[in-house]
Amino acid sequence: MFCEFSFKKLIKFIASGSVDDGKSTLIGRLLLDTNNIFFDQINKILNIKYNKYKNNNFNLSSITDGLESEKDQGITIDIAYRYFNTIKKRFIIIDAPGHEEYTKNMITGSSNVDTGIIIIDIFKINFNKNKIKILKQTKRHSIILKILNVKNIILIINKMDLINNNFLKYKKILFEYKIFTKTINLNNFNIIPIYSILGENIIKKKNIIKWFIGLTLIKILEYSEITNYFNSKLYPLRLSIQHILYYKNKNKIFRKYMGRIISGNIKKKKYFLIPQKKNIKIKNIFNYKFFFNRINNENSLNIKLNKKIDIFKSSMLITKNKKPKIKSKFQTYIFWLSKKKYNKKNNYVLKTLNNENDILDIKIIKNIDIKKILIKKNINFLKLNDIINSEVKIKNKIIIDDYRFIKNTGSFIIINLKNNNTVGAGIIMFNDK
């Protein structure tokens, strides 16, 4: 049983949308219908205090809303992680908060997922006007998933029962959403109408929305494309050196280098060391217990080399094909996460996977106005939830990849040195990509 579970592919996905669109209820239904809830969670569902639904329909959101304040308010405040599996796949679900104030949580949750679910509460859409409007948070979440290169996007139209499963209203939303997605160059997505309380089109078709002939949510999730950074045919080696350990054996001093594989795989052969620009050969690969001839997953490991060489923390072992770049100036997308505006007079640090660097300048190229989907130029300030395309200049050169190629070496956070708060998160994108 353990082996069968271990070899199932893992899919990570995030559920996002506006406040009270039914994200937590949808996830609760996924867990319930795949038999992935525990006895104490069943007791939560049966608890009258949290059972706000009528007609004997249980409050499934109480499964994922982990904080007492979340349950009492009926909203999600913090990101909630849940795990479940089907016969074919394993899943990690990230339930992101819907309120605009907690958009930073959604950005954090989306940065390392394969699939993004965007939920629309159809009852919030005003169909009395000639032209319906897609909600601001729906637009914001779509843009975030697009910028973060989430390959599989699923649009879910929830609470279809509240409009009597009206096909024409469903088509109107789809039409307007497609118009919007063209403006952000988001061309591929799936769309599913659901009734999450009863589980329609989630795990099974229950013949409630009779006109829908597409796949259920779980089928689309199981067929989602997965990025495997440890496939050496697609991704070159990136081994980040994190620590150097000196030890003595028979009056001789040896060094071993401790690090983590970011992409590709490692064998006992020759590699290239940057930024030193030197060829090296690996003599041994091992961890606290075993020696290996090859490692091809995201594990921490130790290596010994065939000769002494000056290696320091933040060095990186790579294969010579598809080298990363070593730069102090690069183009980025930045998500501003702080209530305090960006101030050039403050001291900020850019922190990558294994490096910290003083920021000398953030030159704003354009700012995306979510409400109007306009590109604003000549902006000199940043405020909470702003998304900007910018050129960042830092004090020293660092090793970077295009985020669309390898995420972990193409992403960073921004720290305000005055209070050590994380005020921004960003991704690196090369112009020549």
User: What's the average model confidence in pLDDT over 125-151?
Assistant: 90
Measure the CA–CA gap between 78 and 297, rounded to whole angstroms.
Answer: 30
Report the sign of the C-alpha dihedral through residues 187, 188, 194, 197, in that order. Answer: negative
- Whether the pLDDT of residue 38 is over 80: the answer is no
Rounded distance, CA 264 to CA 287, Å?
Answer: 18
- Can you tell me the mean pLDDT for 186-200? 93
Q: What is the pLDDT of residue 17?
A: 87
Residue predicted with more confidence, 334 or 380: 334
Instruction: Please give the angle made by the CA atoms of 223, 190 and 157, to the nearest 5 degrees.
Output: 125
pLDDT in tens, 338-363: 999 998 889 999 999 889 999 999 99
Tokens of 428: 């690196």
pTM of the model: 0.87
Query: Is the CB of residue 182 less than 8 Å from the CB of residue 220?
Result: no
Q: Name the range with the highest mean pLDDT among 48-52, 254-258, 369-373, 397-401.
A: 397-401
pLDDT band at 306 (very low <50, low <70, confident <90, very high): confident
C-alpha–C-alpha distance, residues 378 and 296, integer Å:
46
pLDDT tens, 164-178? 999 999 999 999 999
State the residue for tokens 């200049």. 393
Q: What is the mean pLDDT of residues 70-97?
A: 78
Mean pLDDT (whole number) for 50-59: 57
- Interatomic CA distance for residues 62 and 67, integer angstroms: 9
Alpha-carbon distance of 393 to 329, in angstroms, equals 4
* Omega prior to 97 cis, within 30 of 0: no
β-bridge partners, 336:
424
Cβ burial of 377 (10 Å; 0-12, 13-18, 19+) is exposed
- Give the start-end residues of each E strand in 160-263: 190-193, 238-249, 252-263
pLDDT digits (tens, 9 = 90+) for 202-261: 999 998 999 999 999 999 999 998 888 888 888 999 999 998 888 877 788 888 899 999
The predicted structure's pLDDT at residue 397: 95
Q: Provide the pLDDT confidence category of residue 2 given band limits of 50, 70 and 90.
A: very low
Segment 10-31 shows an average pLDDT of 89
Average pLDDT over residues 128-141: 87
> Domains in the chain, please, with CATH?
2-222 (3.40.50.300), 238-318 (2.40.30.10), 325-428 (2.40.30.10)
Residue 40: partners with Cβ closer than 8 Å, 6 or more residues away: none
pLDDT digits (tens, 9 = 90+) for 362-388: 999 888 877 655 565 556 678 888 999
Q: Would you state the structure tokens that stand for residue 423, as one six-digit string?
A: 């005020």
